[in-house]
Each structure stands twice: as structure tokens, then as C-alpha cells.
A and B are shown apart, each in its own frame.
Chain A
Amino acid sequence: MSERSERTTGRSGFKNHHILSVLVQNRPGVLARVAGLFARRDYNIFSLAVAPAEDENFSRITIVVDVESVTVEQIVKQLFKLIEVVKISELDPRHSVERELLMATVRTSVPASKGEKSTENNRGQVVELVNIFEGKILAVGVDAITVSLEGHPDKLDDFEELLNGYGIVELQRTGRVALPKLDREARLRVVKGKAG
């Protein structure tokens, strides 16, 4: 996985950002096959989310890759060669809905040394930020607070950047999940042709 710092080019989102929605047979080892393929062919996974699909015999894997279009074409073809891969769609960000969940523990004050009161309490500011973003407060401690935010990954990027100013102690993001948009413009590009 790439370094976080390489990731964004501002609000427009990812550089060479491609979202692949991969429907696979829900069988042991299938995630290892997909991940192994990326490692073997030197393709970089930015994020990956996997869970059973609408039919429990299948799982949907949402993979975000940061590569050139030519490489995406090759990745898709190589993925198709995996026997358990049933369908691959490249989701155009303009015609899909994307969501991600972020959880972060943020420092609200410098921990107190023995016998002294902690200084510089930022809890109020962090809570305000969470409210502006319509996030949630999950837990509150003396010197830190754990918050969550669900939304478009770009929104999460902004939130994360702002929280960073206070000091993020721990962070976990789920990686994006996506589905095609239900508007009349929806263009779900199903890549045709199954490999031999």
C-alpha cells in the first residue's frame, strides 16, 4: 500500500484514481488470490474493502488503485483470469456513489505530568469540528476523544487534515466502497470477456 502522503492532489481526488468493483465467488482463499495477483504483478492497491454481496454465494470487493489507464486494463484482464472472479466493473467516480468510514482518536490536551493540571484543552474545538462535519463522538477521555465520520472519501480527507492539527493518536479508515449511481446517466462499465 502506498504512503498516505502520495495519495491526493487536492479536492479533485486521486491522481489516476480507479475504482474496481469485483464480484467473486465467496470461497476460501479468494481474497488471497486477488491480493496475491496484485503483489505478483506489482500493482499497487490503495484500499480494499470486501464483504458478502446480495447473494451470499458471492462477495463484492471494492479495490481502489492509483495507476494509469493502460495498467488498469491489464489489471482487469489479469483479475478475470482468476477462476473465482465472476464480474468486474470499473466505476466512474462521476457516476457512482462512494462511501467510507473513518475513526480517529484525537489528542485534546497535553497529558498532565504528576500533580499538575493538563494544559491547552482543545476538546471544544474538536467537538465543534465533529459537529460541523456531522460526525459522531464515540468516546471521551481526559486528554483524548474518539470520533467517527462516514461520508464521501474526499470529505473524510478534509476532516482528517483538520484533525491532524490537533494530533491524531490513532486512525482507521475502512477504504472506500462504491456502487453505481441510480441516475439515468449511470454508466456502469462492465468489462466484457472472460479470460481463458
Chain B
Amino acid sequence: MTKSNYKRETITGAQALIRSLEHEGVEVMFGLPGGCILPAYDPLLDSSIRHILVRHEQGAGHMAEGYAHVTGRPGVAMVTSGPAATNMVTPLCDAYMDSIPMVCITGQVPTTAIGTDAFQECDTVGITRSVTKHNELVMRAQDLPLAVRQSFHIATTGRPGPTLIDVPKDVLQAPMEWYWPSDDEVADSLPGYRPTVKGHTRMIKEAAKVILASERPIIYAGGGILKARAAEALRELVELTQIHVVTTLMARGAFPDDHPLCLGMPGMHGNATAVTSMQKADLLITLGARFDDRITGRVNSFAPEAKIIHVDIDPAEQGKVRRPDVPIVGDCKHVIVELIKAIKDLQEGGTEQADIGVWKSRISGWQEQFPLAYEQSEPGEALKPQFCLEQLRDAAPEGTILVSGVGQHQMWSSQYWKFNEPYTWVNSGGLGTMGFSVPAAIGAKVGRPDRTVWAVDGDGCFQMTAQELVTASVERIPIKVAILNNSYLGMVRQWQEMFYDERYSEVYLSPELPNFVGWAEAMGCVGIRVDSPEEVAPAIDKANSIDDRPVVVDFRVDAREKVFPMVPAGFGNDDLVLPAWQQATRASLA
């Protein structure tokens, strides 16, 4: 489509903005109007786009993220200038850290007022520059369609990420002659943006050789697998090579947990086998992962004998933390497909895969000896949070999407849930944003209304963004929230117990306040309180049976429960701390 395909049609900047979003295929957006963005909310009334009115702009941002996580399509948020834009900084940063495609539109004071400290003015592009993949202040109505196309293009290609378009009020009101830029026009307008999709053929061949020669290989699968829609390709690679896979926090579900070669989550709270198999490997086949500090522990003692194959679409990840032996810049799906071909070519040419049998039996030995486990509570004792999660998991309808906040409940969710399908796990990994889960779950449910969406939250997290349950009730978005309520900032409490001599400083939240059931009901949700193990299953069944409004279940859980295993911050992964009863046999991890 080029300009010439259209009759001359003069519309306002605001109309052009909304029409551009429609042309980008936007079906739903999350936002809250205000002074400077007002003109854009008028044509929205006549648009096919569903707008979900949030109660706080941060909620709009996390909803857009949740939507993007489960659909793979960019989430869209629209808010006004000044405080609304600053409230959007956290979700933008969250999306930037976790490579979530998202487009944010902010209102700005009129062009004539910019720089005068006008009412609700802030330097939005300046403030969001380091938390977006790209941002743009659009100073002419005529530029809006191109700016929208550029933003969607940048947000969704290469390494995905958030983009922001800042639009002054008078630009929204000004007339413009409608056009829709062609793909070529977009490409020509971005001469410095050419993501590398196709991996280097020679490097892929080299990787295939290294893989077949390895005696102790591990596939280290990261969130890039999901971003590249490469789960199928990964499965094919695993089945061809029979190599075990660890799935990082951002990659849970990228390879099914019920597959015999899936080792689950590595890292600071990873299971002993996943952590140790990476440590002892002679090859890490790194696919869309970035050697985050929560994975590596102390970098110089991480996987000391391993060669590194590193596949990442972002060249800056190559060698940022660990120098790769075989760097491959490209899209994970594309590279994995080519890698499978290269391995098959070598095999057909007579190259045999090294014997990995001994390695695999070592791995099975660790799995048998160090299962993920917790001590069940005795009758009359407080509920165990892990027990609640297991019950939730076992009662969850097929295809349930799990969304978590940040802290202990997040780690237990990742550990105890069984993710057998991609895009069923949504969480804030890189930024670690408390308060993520309620709004992200709402966004996920909007994106996948056919699925059950459970938000697992902590009582600390819940209190940061719970007001969005009003949005959920009003907009009829029936999510379910499980609060693992231990009346503490649990993860901080755990660190204070383990590393600060049990000196608990500012981590105790009131067990009486708020009244979560009353609060849930006040927001139009069903509220259920659970204190003892026998109440767990009935409460979950009741929650699962309600589909006309949100449900909040307040699980009162044992505050003393800690997340294990754990690699203490600053230590190497060989210093993994196991639960007390496994600690005695830890020598067999050597």
C-alpha cells in the first residue's frame, strides 16, 4: 500500500493515530485518558479497538505485557502525559528486560508549551530512553502513521522490546493527509535497523560438529526460544540428539516438563540437577539465553569446563558475560532448524555422536537423589505454600496459564508447576517487578479468553497493584488470584534469616490487615480464605468453577518456609544450598 492508493483524505492526527493502530491489527489496548491524550480518546469511540480502562497506568503497561506474553502480538497501552508517563516507566523497563513486544502511546503538552514546565509536562522520551528499544516524540501530525509503523516494526522484530510514541496534544488536533506507509518506506526510514535473522552457515556447521563431539552436553534454553516461536524446533533438536534441556525462568514451557529429557529450571533457585548438570557439562548449547547473574552465580566459577555455543538474535549478548566458542547471531527458530540439518548432514556423512550414556546416567542419579521437595506440614500446623501450588496445579484445567509476581511464590510456582505447553507461564524475570501478576494476568486473560488464568501472588505483591481487580470485574475479565499469604515480604525475610542472623528488618506485614476477602469482595470479586490443608482443594474447586467474575483465594501459609535449593548471592553454583535433609548427601553432586 502506498500513498497513491488512497484518495486525498484530510483527518486529524488523533484519527490518524487510531486508524494506524487499526491498520497494525490492534484489537485491544489498555489505558487511562487525561488532558493531553484527550483528542485520541474521541476517535477511539468509533474504532473497532477494544479499550480497557485501568485504575492506574502501571496496570495498563503490565496488562499489555501479559497480553503480549501469551499471544506473541505486541501489547498496546495508551496514557496521558506527565505522571501517567512516569507511571509507565516500570512496565516499560520490565518489558525491556524481558524482551516483550509492547507499544506505548503517551500524550504530551502542546508543541508550543514543550520545555516550559507546563502542567503535566515531563520529558517522556528522555525519561524512557533507557527503558525502551526505541522512542519518538512526534512533532507533526503528518508523521504519525510512519511513527506508528516504525514502532510496531521495531517492537516486534529482532530482539523484541517496548517502544514509545510521545504525541503532543496539538499534533493530535492538527489536520493531516492520510496515508499508510509501505514496508519499503518503513525500511528506508530506518537505515540503521537491520536485525540479523539468518545464522552464519559456517558457524552452524561448526556448532553441529561440536555438539556431536560432546560427551557431557546440556541444552540451555532461554526466553528467546519462546520469542522466536521455536519450541517445536527445539523439541526436534532434543529428540535428534537426546541431549537434556534446562529451561530458564523465562523459558518455562518452551520444552515440556513431562518430557524425560527436561531438567527444569537452573539458577539461583533451580533444582539441584539442572544447576549441577550445567556446572559439570563440557558443552552448553545456549539457545536464546543471556547468562543472567541469576543463572550463572559467580561468573568465574560457572560451568568451568564447558564450551559455549551461543545462539542469540542480539549480537551484544555474545560475549557480554561469557565468551562463546561458537557464537551464532540469528533468530533461534531459524538457527535451530539449520542446526538440525547440519547435524543430520554430518551423521549421513558418517560422523557419529559421542557416547553420552555415562553422562545421562549421572544426570539420572542426581535426579533420583535430589528431587525438588519440601516437608509436608503436620496436622494442625500452618499450610505449606508448595502444597497449595501442587493442589492448584493438579486441579488446573488443561491449558491453564500461570502468572506470577516476584519473590518466593514466583520461585515455587516455577519449581512446582508443570509447564507442558509454551506460553502458559508469565512472570517478571529480569526486572523482578513486584505487583506484576494481577495486571499481567488480566492482560493474559484478555489475550486468551478461552484459557483459565491463575495469578499466583504474594501478599506483598498483591498490595501493590490489586486495584486492577476492579478493572477485571468491570470489564468482565474473570481471572483467579491465589495469594500465598505469609504476612511477610517472604524472599527478603528468607535472606534476613539466612544472611543477616535472623535480624528481621521491615519485612513483617500485618496478618490482620488488609482483610483480603473483604477487599476482594469490595472490588467485585469472590473472596475465599483458606487456613488449613483440608480447605485447599475445595477452595480451588470453587474458584475454578466461577467464570463470571474474578476470584481471590487468600491462602494463609507458613512464614518460615524458604525457597530451596538456593545459590547464595555472590557464590558459585557449586555452593548450592539444599534443603536440610538433602544437605548431608550433597557430596554426590560433585
Residue numbers of A with Cβ under 8 A of B are 24-25, 28-29, 32-33, 36-37, 40, 70, 73-74, 77-78, 80-87, 193-196
Contacts and interface: CB of A to CB of B under 8 A. Distances in A.
Contacts of A87: 192
Contacts of B126: 29, 32
B159 A196 contact: yes
A85 B194 CA distance: 11
B314 A196 contact: yes
Given A74-B319, A77-B318, A80-B315, 19 more contacts: A24-B192, A29-B125, A29-B126, A36-B129, A36-B130, A70-B319, A73-B319, A74-B320, A77-B315, A78-B316, A80-B316, A83-B154, A83-B190, A83-B192, A87-B192, A193-B329, A194-B193, A195-B314, A196-B314
A129 to B, nearest CB: 45
Contact of B191 (A25, A36, A195): A25
Contact of A83 (B125, B134, B316, B329): B134
| Residue of A73, A74, A195 ringed by the most chain B CB atoms within 10 A | A195
Nearest to A191: B315
B129 A194 contact: no
Given A36-B129, A36-B130, A77 B192 contact: no
A40 B93 CA distance: 14
Given A74-B316, A83-B134, A195 B158 contact: yes
A194 B319 contact: no
Interface in B310-325: 313-316, 318-320
Contacts of A77: 315-316, 318, 320
A28 B130 CA distance: 16
Nearest to B189: A25
B157 interface: yes
B313 A33 contact: no
Contact of A195 (B125, B195, B319): B195
A194 B130 contact: no
Interface of B: 125-126, 129-130, 133-134, 137, 154, 157-159, 190-196, 313-316, 318-320, 329
Contact of B192 (A25, A32, A78): A25
B315 A193 contact: yes
B134 A196 contact: no
Nearest to B316: A77
B192 A28 contact: no
Contacts of A28: 137
A171 B139 CA distance: 39
A33 B193 contact: no
Given A195-B315, A196-B314, A82 B192 contact: yes
A73 B318 CA distance: 10
25 contacts: A24-B192, A28-B137, A29-B129, A29-B137, A32-B126, A36-B129, A70-B319, A74-B320, A78-B316, A80-B315, A80-B316, A81-B133, A83-B133, A83-B134, A83-B193, A85-B192, A193-B315, A193-B329, A194-B195, A194-B196, A195-B158, A195-B159, A195-B316, A196-B159, A196-B195
A87 B158 CA distance: 18
Contact of A196 (B190, B191, B313): B313
B190 to A, nearest CB: 6
Contacts of A32: 126, 129
B399 to A, nearest CB: 31
Contacts of B137: 28-29
Contacts of A74: 316, 319-320
Nearest to A82: B192
A194 to B, nearest CB: 4
B316 A194 contact: no
Nearest to B135: A29
A74 B323 CA distance: 11
Contacts of A82: 192
Contacts of B157: 196
Nearest to A57: B191
Nearest to B317: A77
A74 B316 CA distance: 6
Contacts of A85: 192
| Residue of B129, B190, B192, B313 ringed by the most chain A CB atoms within 10 A | B192
B482 to A, nearest CB: 36
Contacts of B313: 196
A194 B192 contact: yes
A33 B137 CA distance: 14
Contacts of A37: 130
B100 to A, nearest CB: 14
A24 B191 CA distance: 9
A84 B154 CA distance: 12
A33 B129 CA distance: 7
